Amino acid sequence: MEEFIQAVGIYPAGSLVELSSGQVAVVIAECRTRRLRPRVMILLDADKQPVSSMAVVDLKEESSTATEEPLEIIGSLEPEAYGIDMAGIQL
């Protein structure tokens, strides 16, 4: 199992995730040294509403602006969660 995680990563590119801030994002790049802190593109705000412009966030460097705690992934979501059309997203 360890080798599989090392090869594929915990959150492979294209995974839909929820962040500790309540925002929903898609993983766009993995971090080989910190597998739990990939680069993500924010799709929905904390109220689960589409953001006006999709921002790319590097989780190994970012913290939540509300709490100053490290911004982290709290879980994976199904690809169609919150009505998101993953086929229409350009990574």
- pLDDT beyond 90 at 88: no
pTM of the model as a whole: 0.81
Residues 12-63 have pLDDT tens digits of: 889 999 999 999 999 998 877 677 789 999 999 999 999 998 889 998 876 5
Q: Which pLDDT score, from 0 to 100, does residue 84 have?
A: 87
Spatial separation of the C-alpha atoms in residues 30 and 32, rounded to whole Å? 6
- pLDDT beyond 80 at 91: no
- pLDDT beyond 90 at 64: no
Q: Which pLDDT score, from 0 to 100, does residue 2 have?
A: 61
Tally Cβ neighbours within 10 Å of residue 90. Answer: 6
